[in-house]
Structure 1
Amino acid sequence: MTSAPGRRSSTFTRLLRHGFTDPSAAEQLLDSDGLTLVRNDPVLLDALGATADPDLALRGLARLLEAQDGATARQELLDTLIAAKPLRDRLLGVLGASEALAEHLARHPSDWQALVTYEPRDLHPGVEEFERGLADATDPVSLRVAYRRCLLSIAARDVCGTIEVAQTAAELADLATATLRAALALAAAAAPEDAALCRLAVIAMGKCGGHELNYVSDVDVIFVGEAADGADEDKALRAATRLASHLMRICSETTVEGSIWPVDANLRPEGRNGPLVRTLASHLAYYQRWAKTWEFQALLKARPVAGDRALGEEYVTALQPLVWQAAERENFVADVQKMRRRVVENIPAAEIDRQLKLGPGGLRDVEFAVQLLQLVHGRSDASLRSGTTLDALKALAAGGYVGRADAAQLDDAYRFLRSMEHRIQLHRLRRTHLVPEDETDLRRLGRSLDLRTDPVATLTREWKRHASVVRRLHEKLFYRPLLDAVAALAPGEARLSAAAARERLIALGYADPAAALRHLEALASGVTRKAAIQRTLLPVLLGWFADSADPDAGLLTFRKVSDALGKTPWYLRLLRDEGAAAENLARVLSAGRLAPDLLMRAPEAVALLGDGGGGLRPRSRAHLEQEILAAVRRADNAVQAVTAARGVRRRELFRTSAADIVGSYGTESQPAEADQGALVDLVGGAVSDLTAATLSGTLRAVVREGWGDTLPTRFAIIGMGRFGGHELGYGSDADVLFVHEPRDGVDEREAAEAANKVVAEMRRLLQVPSADPPLIVDADLRPEGKSGPLVRTLTSYEAYYRRWSLVWERHALLRAEHVAGDEELGRRFTELIDPLRYPAAGLDEEAVREIRRLKARMESERLPRGADPKLHTKLGPGGLSDVEWTVQLLQLRHGAREPGLRTTRTRQALAAARAAGLISEEDASTLDEAWVLATRVRNAVMLVRGRAGDTFPTVPRELSAVGRYLGYGPGHAGDMLDAYRRTARRARSVVEELFYGGS
């Protein structure tokens, strides 16, 4: 007994040296009966120390020895372990990696003998060998036991490194195939009358179909059924459904031996809502008429595995042509990429950084990328038609569809990530793709992957490195080979043929692939620094262009901008180094015509897209006026001054339109603007402020040239309509009134002549044809309309409004606001009209009826012939006119006693009406939503087409671009139109009540 403490200390030290993390518990266990031999045998301790988790391996071994039937059996096991290194490595390796398989061995203590043989023919068993291993199963329980015994042999070869990860996955798929066959045999034996009525084929999908199954995974299948000779088809399908359902229960249900794995048939036509079993003809009809892109992507891995072999082969043969036509579908690439994004979006935020499979840089990124390229190029190249990811990747590299270096890095990363996934699942045989957080689990995982030096840190570093490689290659995989095809910088490297490059560009949505290749060649060819930077930028830019409604336009304009600025040192540096600048540019160039047209007139405005997005923030009216007035002072004459003012306007229109596009599309680092009303207010306020500043500068320039410092009359410009309401769109005219007042001692005729000359010259200079967009100044809302004088004195306005003003003029004055010129005169004009637009007595019923008549007449006369009223954003039901006239009627009636209603802005007035209790919160929200949506549609049409419009475009690509701006993905233009109709219909019902029927 005196030597015990010394022996204990020695054992403790040995255990620490062998990698035990809890040597005290291990020492105590080794002191128990039955494990003395293990404690004293250096071979066994060395073998335990070589496992992924020596503590776990020792506990598993203790349980296995305890479960043996008597001392003789325990001694036989120990003797065999000491004598046979292959068995020792296999058994202890499994015990150190899998707690679940250790529990299986404890329940079935003789199953360790399945690991004894070590012959070459045992290294890579196939379906037949596994079928023999399951042959004795006569019920679901015994099938589970036999399945685990076979799984034990796969895991043993895996953890010992006898087979690598791809072979492990293939063996798991073969074992699943054998299990499905055994389960179907059990189901048929239980219902021989059903088996006699039908032919049933089981088609493996997903990872089982692709020969790349995990240790624990749903096994995806599709069932195909046909009537046996002479049987009624309906009865046969019912029988086949019963057999298929029984097969699923045998594999999925939990028994005393646990379950095998769930059999998932949700990849079938119509998913869980569709019949479990269909005939081949029914399958074909569905895929020909109704299937979505992702369903053809899923069929890449379809493989007959059980049941009627001939029927299964017939199914695959019949559907293969449809699979390889999938890339010809409209929005094919966008659909696949959208499906990938949706998967990522559905990952809980707390898990996304631990997701091996679904997270960014995970296994699914590799699989989606490979499958997309297979579908694009597999139409014409049968060598790509493998259901196995790594085999397909190898074929893509061999064919030049993926760069060899990229393919090698992807292959390496995929193998590493799959190995992690396998070992994580093997521990407890649970379906998970999350990297554990516990340090003990991470240590075991790292050691299982042969990362023995600081396994936790090394594992984390290697995992992040491989995930980073996958993310980077996933981004460029579709686009880098296109550049290699045109740049021709590596003569020995396989590259895309011209035909393959065109195929890929067409699949990515490029309508003119030949032109696109010319642009790429012009941008990326050569050995200059400029070309080298372009080759770095273009793979990502091409992806962003492809994510738009018009990739061709995006690429073309990018080439034009690059040609214009390519020699400017800061341009490419901005795109390369400043975060979102490149993505912002791609979004702006491919969203429509307006922003690129504005940019091309002064490409240096691309600098606004940098500055972390701050450069896109619209400038205040005060800053704009300051810049424009400074430019006017520097100019030699009025023409130069107004040219400078219009140049500022063009640049600021680009800034605002770019901010609108980026806010609507979002970027990888910044999601799309959630508050659509905020975007509408941003555009309306920015364009209105810019218009006011432009008018101020133009007025100053005209006065200075014609009269020096002082005009003979005070002069003010009053904004009307959307201009006065701070709601201008990109293509809006500036509705105004002009008012003047002769200075002391100036003859009224002289003053009027000066004022009219100012107006005429301002309007002329702002519309002179030039590279800058014109600003149309419209004064038709003045008293007497086009028949009245263009400019009036304040006294003349007062006399007219007192004696002659009509209801529509009081209505129009609700939006009147001073925007430029003499501030004091503008204030006095506003004081003059306030009693008219906010009458103390409100409106009498005759005035209300007149307003209603005017609105009805306007809509009937101005709605374009042939236009769909339900989609007309201005005059259609629930459109801008409906909302604005309803709000303005409330202002005319209640503005005198409700100060909040005394605003020129529609949304502010609506909010004030709600706050005053004049309209319910629900009705106000309905009207606001409709007004914001209609305004956004008008802005979108201008951005996309480069010209104003009140209806949705009819050209499909333009309609799709409007949809993208409004947040609808490719192929969802119909959803956008339906949503607009619904929103407008709800608003119209409120208008019917408040404008036409309310009090």
Structure 2
Amino acid sequence: MTRDIGIGTKLIQSGVFDIAQAQSRIETANLNQNQLDLILDLAAKSANPDDLITALLKNKAWLDLPQPTLIKLSAVLGVSEKIYDWLDKRPGMIPALNQELSTNRIELISSFLNTVSDLSGDQARAALKQRYQQQVITIASCDLTGEASFAQVSQELSWLADAVLSSALCIAERELPEAAKQVSIAVIALGKTGGIELNYISDVDVVFVASPKSDVEESVALTAGTKLASLMMRICSEPTIDGVIWPVDAALRPEGKAGALVRTISSYLSYYDRWAETWEFQALLKARYSTGDEQLAQEFIQQTQELVWVAVSKPNFVTNARRMRARVEENISEREQGRQIKLGRGGLRDIEFTVQLLQLVHARTDETLRTGNTLLGLAALAQGGYVGRSDAELLRNHYIWLRTLEHRLQLRQMTRTQVLPETEFELRILGRAMEFKVDPANELLSNWKDLANQVRNLHEKLFYRPLLDAVAILPSEAIRLSESEAETRLTALGYLDAKSALRHIEALTKGAKRRAAIQRTLLPVLLNWWSAGPSPDRSLLAFRRLSEALGDTPWFLSSLRDDAQVAERVARVTGASEFLVDLLLRAPESLAMLSNDLELTPKREAELIFECQTIASRYLSDSERAVGALRSLRRRELVRIAAASVLNLISVDEVGKAITDLNRSVLDAALKVVEHQVALTLPNGVATDFAIIAMGRFGGAELGFGSDLDVLFVHRPHPGSDETQTTPVATKIASELRSLLMAPHPDPAIELDADLRPEGKKGPLVRTLDSYQAYYQRWSITWESQALLRAEFAAGNRDVADEFLQIVNPLRWPSSGIDSDQLRDVRLLKARMEAERLPKGADPALHLKLGKGGLSDVEWVAQLIQMRYSAKHSELQTTSTIETLLAAAELNLVSDSDAQILISAWRFSSQIRNGFILSLGKSSDSITTDQNQLRALSYLLNYPVDNSNQLVDDYLRTARRAREVFERLFYDS
């Protein structure tokens, strides 16, 4: 009984997970005391004491091995179930535990070739796989007992790959002797194999280069080379009774898996010169001779390496590389989030990407950086002054820790994995293998989380902060780039004028003031975000202008420093919207809105009316000052709405309503002031009631950032007043109002467009209610009735506006609908507009307003439905295009799918029109073909900047579907 308690206690102390099971197995194993003590001692030192105890009890003869061998065996069995399977199946491999690592690549390859030299077929394959397993056992033994460093282990694994590939090629040439006579093959290692930093289990990335042997046609040689390469790959990757070595992956070749497996050097160069993408040059950075014709391989490497180091000068090279890295991270499954140590945030790929990007940027002029090995590259960057020594050391240590963790993960089953396990049992094993002893699972996860955060932060620090140090008064403690080196890096980040960018950075960071110190902290992160946008130059300049405008305003820089969301929003605004930046420069204090989502919520109309009327009352006797203050308020609210739109906080429908509410409130207050001023000039006051009717998109509450305000002016003389006297007064009010709203002022003008009035520009600017009624009853034509569908109160006397609407309701919502002549008129007018009003040279497919499937198509369908059916269905009596279409679908006048197609097209076109104003600061009714403008528009609308044609394709598809619905509903129904 005493002994049982002692065993249980020792099992607990050894870290055994399943105490009861281990104790049961020991009790039935008939061990002597020495054997028991030995097993418990080995278990205590093992990463996986449970499995080690099971293995040693099953193979008790192993307990008699020499102690050094048994210690190595226990270290390996505690980590790798797969190696246990190998040793259990072939105990003759145990001596491999005591072998030393190779010190000579050529000798290792020779030993492998000797193994298969006299064999072929299945015998050769079996011998190769068993020799491979022996070498892996040796490497794992040295690795897990601390006899070899990470660098030595990854080098040995890379040399092992060369040895396996050499043996596989030897077997292939023996089995395909005719092919071997026709072609010389060189195998170029890429990826981790090429960088001499391979994992235990990984795809071995290669490309195959061929050269015809004398008197052999190139096509014949390429066919022969393809046969040899294919067989060589199968030898390594086909499963047999001895298992699989690893897959040989040639997908990094030109055109990927769809491309030729084997090419000549000239074919490779032709492709790289004309078609290669960013990632393909990054891949070539690690190109290294592996096996085959060494002279051919070195010729390939020599000719392609020059392409690698000049690739950074290609447009958007770094931007594209960074986007590709981001896409990889975005594609990680939800289940693997936070556990993916290679591709995830702060994982191995972040370190490798940082080092490779810095190499690609600077190795063009500094050949000491040209290495495919991550650790050697990092050391060279530190030696050359491109990375601070302390940062390089930190990154080096993190990289080695992560790669070691990856090795321990893969050794478990000899499978290709980079995802931390989910079960506590597996996490404990991994934690103990990584030297965590107290609480292995939680210590491992905590260390990984902290390290991942440090790695991600180091990327920003290493790549962007040296740009600031390059223009600092004194060099930083760790690093200082020269001016030309900083310009090189800025150019790589996508800056077109690196010299100017450097001057902006200097202006922002010079001096010892607190402001400059905060800027030095902020700019690395901002430079990172801007480089992902359409114009880093414009973004940096905008930020400098805003910073200088705000001066030492305390909340500005401290908010950016202390609130990551505010900093990211400022980067987004300065990178995405010239319109918003221009508004902010007129009143930079409005930037404070970015700190709070509530501050970016458009104000309710009641709030706006109250504020505007307060201003009007305060400055009632000074119309210029009053309207100026109202325009300033409007600018402030436009900032709020535009910022919310740029930051994707509100929809295009909400934008339309918010801008409409704002303009109605400002217009009503401005009218109040103007009426008061005009009244002061008249002995009997104004003597008429004045109203403004909103038309077009203003009436539909569908205004965009670049919309004029379509209006009608109407008045109703007071009883006893003469129309001939009051109409000039009303006209003066309208003219004075328009003049004040358009007068030169720091804030945006408001243009009132009255061209939709009776008789257009030839007609009187203002009419009485009676005059409107007389005109519409006698002279009105179909298009005017159609335009009145959008009529709505805007400002002034509400009773007058309501009377006006009562007058026009029978015209726009005719009780009997429209007759065939009117229907024909509507259709003819639409066709004529498409033919005559489309600007000369405009592409109908890309015109947002008048083009096929554009705004006009959708609005005319909605308006035709209203003219035909609104008298019978009050739900259609609305000025809103979208509300009309939704009501029509509810009434089964159109199908739900047709309504949604039209609504989607209308919203998309409206978004793009707003996008032009926001991104470029100017309006456009046609999608541009200018790539720089299209990139800016794409960025604002959250499309890939490097694939702006996706926006155009989406629009064309949406518009095409809308046009099909339009033609069916408008012409055929």
Kindly state the Cα deviation for residue 643 of structure 1 after the two structures are TM-superposed: 0.6
Aligned partners of 1:593 and 1:946 also within 8 Å: yes
CA distance in 2: counterparts of 1:190 and 1:955, whole angstroms: 58
Kindly state the Cα deviation for residue 179 of structure 1 after the two structures are TM-superposed: 0.8
Kindly state the Cα deviation for residue 855 of structure 1 after the two structures are TM-superposed: 2.4
959-968 vs 512-521, which moves further: 959-968
Q: Which residue is equivalent to 1:13?
A: 9
Q: Which residue is equivalent to 1:242?
A: 227
Query: Equivalent of 2:298, from 309, 313, 321?
Result: 313
- Structure 1 residues 191-590: aligned runs within 5 Å: 191-490=176-475, 492-590=477-575
Q: Which residue is equivalent to 2:669?
A: 697
Aligned partners of 2:813 and 2:866 also within 8 Å: yes
Aligned partners of 1:752 and 1:791 also within 8 Å: yes
Aligned partners of 1:101 and 1:152 also within 8 Å: yes
Query: Equivalent of 1:111, from 76, 80, 93?
Result: 93
With over 3 angstroms needed to count, the CA separation of the structure-2 counterparts of 1:45 and 1:774, relative to structure 1, is: same
Q: Which residue is equivalent to 1:882?
A: 857
Deviations 1:793-840 (Å, cap 9, x if unpaired)?
112111111111111100110111111111222222222211111112
Aligned partners of 2:207 and 2:250 also within 8 Å: yes
- Structure 1 residues 891-910: aligned runs within 5 Å: 891-910=866-885
Task: Give the AA of the match of 2:12.
Answer: L
CA distance in 2: counterparts of 1:127 and 1:115, whole angstroms: 22
Query: Equivalent of 2:74, from 75, 80, 92?
Result: 92
Kindly state the Cα deviation for residue 944 of structure 1 after the two structures are TM-superposed: 2.6
CA distance in 1: counterparts of 2:942 and 2:29, whole angstroms: 70
- TM-score scaled by structure 1? 0.93
3-state SS of the aligned residue for 1:486? coil
Query: Equivalent of 1:614, from 587, 598, 601?
Result: 598
Aligned partners of 2:469 and 2:476 also within 8 Å: no
CA distance in 2: counterparts of 1:422 and 1:473, whole angstroms: 23
Q: Which residue is equivalent to 2:636?
A: 651
Kindly state the Cα deviation for residue 491 of structure 1 after the two structures are TM-superposed: 5.3
CA distance in 1: counterparts of 2:291 and 2:624, whole angstroms: 83
Query: Equivalent of 1:787, from 762, 771, 783?
Result: 762
Q: Which residue is equivalent to 1:62?
A: 57
Pairing 1:927–2:899 present: no
CA distance in 2: counterparts of 1:748 and 1:852, whole angstroms: 39
Kindly state the Cα deviation for residue 129 of structure 1 after the two structures are TM-superposed: 2.3
CA distance in 2: counterparts of 1:844 and 1:334, whole angstroms: 60
Deviations 1:465-523 (Å, cap 9, x if unpaired)?
11110121223332111112122444553321111111111111111111111111121
Kindly state the Cα deviation for residue 955 of structure 1 after the two structures are TM-superposed: 4.0
Aligned partners of 1:30 and 1:36 also within 8 Å: no
Task: Give the AA of the match of 1:754.
Answer: V
Query: Equivalent of 1:687, from 659, 662, 673?
Result: 659
Aligned partners of 1:816 and 1:904 also within 8 Å: yes
Kindly state the Cα deviation for residue 130 of structure 1 after the two structures are TM-superposed: 5.4
3-state SS of the aligned residue for 1:231? coil
Q: Which runs of 5+ in 1 are unaligned?
A: 66-73, 664-672
3-state SS of the aligned residue for 1:202? strand
CA distance in 2: counterparts of 1:134 and 1:160, whole angstroms: 29
Aligned partners of 1:125 and 1:171 also within 8 Å: no
3-state SS of the aligned residue for 1:136? helix
Deviations 1:707-757 (Å, cap 9, x if unpaired)?
379852222111001111111121211000111112234333343233212
Aligned partners of 2:222 and 2:263 also within 8 Å: yes
3-state SS of the aligned residue for 1:487? coil
Pairing 1:36–2:15 present: no
Q: Which residue is equivalent to 1:175?
A: 160
Kindly state the Cα deviation for residue 701 of structure 1 after the two structures are TM-superposed: 1.5
CA distance in 2: counterparts of 1:415 and 1:148, whole angstroms: 24
Aligned partners of 2:645 and 2:651 also within 8 Å: yes
Kindly state the Cα deviation for residue 33 of structure 1 after the two structures are TM-superposed: 5.7
Q: Which residue is equivalent to 1:628?
A: 612
CA distance in 2: counterparts of 1:404 and 1:908, whole angstroms: 64
Query: Equivalent of 1:823, from 798, 801, 806?
Result: 798
Q: Which residue is equivalent to 2:726?
A: 751
Count residues in correspondence.
963
Query: Equivalent of 1:53, from 43, 48, 53?
Result: 48
Deviations 1:90-114 (Å, cap 9, x if unpaired)?
2211011111111111001021111
3-state SS of the aligned residue for 1:744? coil
Q: Which residue is equivalent to 1:861?
A: 836
3-state SS of the aligned residue for 1:957? helix
Q: Which residue is equivalent to 2:972?
A: 998
Kindly state the Cα deviation for residue 644 of structure 1 after the two structures are TM-superposed: 0.7
Identity of aligned residues (%): 48
Aligned partners of 2:112 and 2:167 also within 8 Å: no
3-state SS of the aligned residue for 1:305? strand
CA distance in 1: counterparts of 2:810 and 2:107, whole angstroms: 95
CA distance in 1: counterparts of 2:676 and 2:91, whole angstroms: 104
CA distance in 2: counterparts of 1:562 and 1:91, whole angstroms: 65
3-state SS of the aligned residue for 1:971? helix
Q: Which residue is equivalent to 2:950?
A: 975
CA distance in 2: counterparts of 1:510 and 1:229, whole angstroms: 50
With over 3 angstroms needed to count, the CA separation of the structure-2 counterparts of 1:938 and 1:495, relative to structure 1, is: same
3-state SS of the aligned residue for 1:110? helix
With over 3 angstroms needed to count, the CA separation of the structure-2 counterparts of 1:106 and 1:894, relative to structure 1, is: same
Kindly state the Cα deviation for residue 981 of structure 1 after the two structures are TM-superposed: 2.9
With over 3 angstroms needed to count, the CA separation of the structure-2 counterparts of 1:847 and 1:221, relative to structure 1, is: same
287-296 vs 897-906, which moves further: 897-906
- TM-score scaled by structure 2? 0.95
Kindly state the Cα deviation for residue 40 of structure 1 after the two structures are TM-superposed: 4.9
Kindly state the Cα deviation for residue 131 of structure 1 after the two structures are TM-superposed: 4.5
3-state SS of the aligned residue for 2:353? helix
CA distance in 2: counterparts of 1:216 and 1:259, whole angstroms: 11
Kindly state the Cα deviation for residue 558 of structure 1 after the two structures are TM-superposed: 0.8
Aligned partners of 1:197 and 1:239 also within 8 Å: yes
CA distance in 1: counterparts of 2:132 and 2:701, whole angstroms: 73
With over 3 angstroms needed to count, the CA separation of the structure-2 counterparts of 1:33 and 1:688, relative to structure 1, is: closer
3-state SS of the aligned residue for 2:715? strand
3-state SS of the aligned residue for 2:338? helix
CA distance in 2: counterparts of 1:24 and 1:844, whole angstroms: 92
Q: Which residue is equivalent to 1:132?
A: 111
Task: Give the AA of the match of 1:906.
Answer: T
CA distance in 2: counterparts of 1:154 and 1:218, whole angstroms: 18
Query: Equivalent of 1:943, from 880, 902, 918?
Result: 918
Task: Give the AA of the match of 2:43.
Answer: L
Task: Give the AA of the match of 1:373.
Answer: L
With over 3 angstroms needed to count, the CA separation of the structure-2 counterparts of 1:405 and 1:697, relative to structure 1, is: farther
CA distance in 1: counterparts of 2:294 and 2:102, whole angstroms: 27
Aligned partners of 2:109 and 2:166 also within 8 Å: no
